[in-house]
Amino acid sequence: MRWSVGLEAQGDRLVTHDEIVELADAVAPHGGIASGIGTDRYGAQIIVDASSHDEAVERGTATFRAAAATAGLPEFPIVRAEAVSEADDDLAWEA
C-alpha cells in the first residue's frame, strides 16, 4: 500500500533557500516536496510503499534522513512524523 509520509526536523540554525532546493531535489524521486526556507526546521512529504503505518513511518524516516544527508543538511532531531495511507486519504475525500 502507498503512504504519504510527512516529516520535519528542527535544529539550532536557520535553513537556507539553497539547502531546501537541494532537499527538494533529493526527495523528488519519491514523489516528494520539501519545506523550511528561512526557518529552524526542514521538512518533506514523500510517498513510500509499506504494509502498515509503523512501517511507512520507518521507511519514510530512512528516506528523509538519506535525502537530508544528500542535501548537506545537518541531522536535526525529527519533531514531526505522520503517515496517511491511500485508503485513509480516499475515505477523507468521501466524507
What is the chain written as a DSSP string? -EEEEEEEEE-SSPPPHHHHHHHHHHHGGGT-EEE-TTSSEEEEEEEEE-SSHHHHHHHHHHHHHHHHHHTT---PPEEEEEEEEHHHHHHHHH-
Q: What is the pLDDT of residue 57?
A: 98
Residue range 2-94 forms a domain whose CATH class is alpha beta
The pTM score is: 0.90
Determine the straight-line distance between the first and last CA of the chain, rounded to whole angstroms.
Answer: 21
Mind listing the pLDDT tens digit for each residue in 41-88?
Answer: 999 999 999 999 999 999 999 999 999 999 999 999 999 999 999 877
pLDDT value of residue 87: 79
pLDDT band at 89 (very low <50, low <70, confident <90, very high): low
Q: Is the pLDDT of residue 93 over 50?
A: no
Compute the distance between CA of residue 73 and CA of residue 50 in angstroms, rounded to an integer: 26
Residue boundaries of the structural domains of the chain: 2-94
